[in-house]
Amino acid sequence: MAANSMSKEYQALVKALGRGERGSRSLTLTESHFLIRGFSQGVGTKTQLAAALMLMRVRGETCEEVAGAALGLKSTISEQWSNLDVSIDWPCYAGKRELLPWLLLAAKVLASQGERVLLHGDPRSLSHRNHIADHVEGLNIPKASNPEEAQLALDAVGICYVDADSLSPLVAQFRELHQELGLRSLFQVAIRCTNPANAPVSLRSYFHPGLDKMHIKVAKLMAQTYLDTRHLDNSFHGSSHDKPDSGFDTKTDSTEVNHAEQAFALMGKVGIFKGVQGETEINPRISTELTITSRANSQVIHLPTRLEAFVGMNTLSSELALSSPQACLVLSQIWDQGETSDHQSGIHSKLSASVLTLAKLRQVAEASVISTLSAVYLLQGKYGNVSAAEYSADQAWRMR
């Protein structure tokens, strides 16, 4: 297709979204995929993309739009990531406010049990939050910047962290738009759904009510598309004028079959829950609905509260006012079951003045790890009920 014609087709997407109260409509899955993929190939401009994202944001993004965007993002991730042998996909994009990322301790337990865990996130987005990227190395979790490094780390210790910028060149551009406009877009949900290595189980967290239903529908739409890539061609609701020509390189043409994606679509499961401050970690202070969804069905499992009547959680870390190195030290000490000593980074005096606070931190850490491990075990189908999963999680944590 000629470049000029391609540009007009891209412009038609913005027009479809912005024709006014009566004339506008949402994008189909294919059109949303084209919005992202077309921008990555230089067909659409940054201005057009920003306008489309904000028009969708004001109206409220549909599941088809998010699924199409996730597929578009996935198409910009090198297929070398698909060749990695990963058993658990763990996206961590929200960060926390004051609390420490206890999920890393749960991930280390799983790695010690033979799982291969791929953590990924974006510490440059919402930089005021406490992201796992600042703590992984303190817990001896390797960072990887390419599939080769990730493979070496997974083979060596069964776990690694990857910055989202190393996955797709679009991450930085979406981040710039977010920071420039001051508004989130469908990207924040879509990036969580990419599952770069097509692991058989993938975790998805959310914060705002209703996003659980969106994640369920998005997961099913993506699975449907992985199994039948013609779904992209057949999903247009608009006129033929709105439909991009088949000459566009979508990387999801029906002749191109990604067997790893199809395997995930057939057998993979996604665990969806409201995480602590939106991060991918079970909150032990409340009962949590864990939705396990696959292409064929979905089920809801209720995880009980582990910290009944616990108060003051949000102020624990702020009371200590830990620097990043000190926070890493607390995490590693809890993992090692060690005690604080006088010579360790000057943290002894701070902690000795807050012995009760540190004891509470340990209590929160243990409850968070056991709850999060239980959710992963249930997602994997290792146990048929919550009690068995919790017992196994408790034993795994104690035997680490």
Quick: pLDDT tens for 220-229: 999 999 998 7
pLDDT at 6: 82
Long-range CB contacts (< 8 A, 24+ apart) of 42-49? 43/3, 43/6, 43/7, 43/9, 43/10, 43/248, 44/7, 44/10, 44/13, 46/173, 46/177, 48/10, 48/11, 48/13, 48/14, 49/177
Asked whether residue 148 is domain-assigned, the answer is no
Beta bridge partners of 245: none
pLDDT at 312: 66
Asked whether residue 123 is domain-assigned, the answer is no
Q: What domain count does the chain have?
A: 1
Distances (CA, A) of 379 to 202, 301, 372: 9, 10, 11
How far is residue 336's CA from residue 187's CA, in Å, rounded to a whole number?
A: 37
CB count within 10 Å of CB 243 equals 18
User: What are 150's two structure tokens?
Assistant: 């990730």
How far is residue 135's CA from residue 138's CA, in Å, rounded to a whole number?
A: 5
How far is residue 278's CA from residue 284's CA, in Å, rounded to a whole number?
A: 14
Asked whether residue 30 is domain-assigned, the answer is yes
Domain hosting 21: range is 3-77+211-262
Asked whether residue 102 is domain-assigned, the answer is no
The strand order across the sheet containing 143-144 reads 143-144, 159-163, 117-121, 88-91, 201-206, 269-274, 288-293, 298-303
The dihedral through the CA atoms of 210, 283, 98, 196 has a sign that is: negative
Asked whether residue 62 is domain-assigned, the answer is yes
Asked whether residue 248 is domain-assigned, the answer is yes
- Residues of the chain with pLDDT below 70 are 1-2, 230-256, 311-321, 338-354
Asked whether residue 128 is domain-assigned, the answer is no
Residues whose CB is less than 8 angstroms from the CB of residue 260 and which lie 6 or more positions away in sequence, other chains included: 82, 83, 197, 198
Asked whether residue 368 is domain-assigned, the answer is no
**310-350 pLDDT, tens per residue?**
766 666 666 666 777 888 888 999 999 854 444 444 455 55
Residue 311 contacts residue 130 (beta carbons within 8 Å): no
Q: What pTM, to 2 d.p., does this model score?
A: 0.90
Q: Is 120 helix (H, G, I), strand (E, B) or coil?
A: strand
pLDDT at 151: 98
How far is residue 143's CA from residue 328's CA, in Å, rounded to a whole number?
A: 15
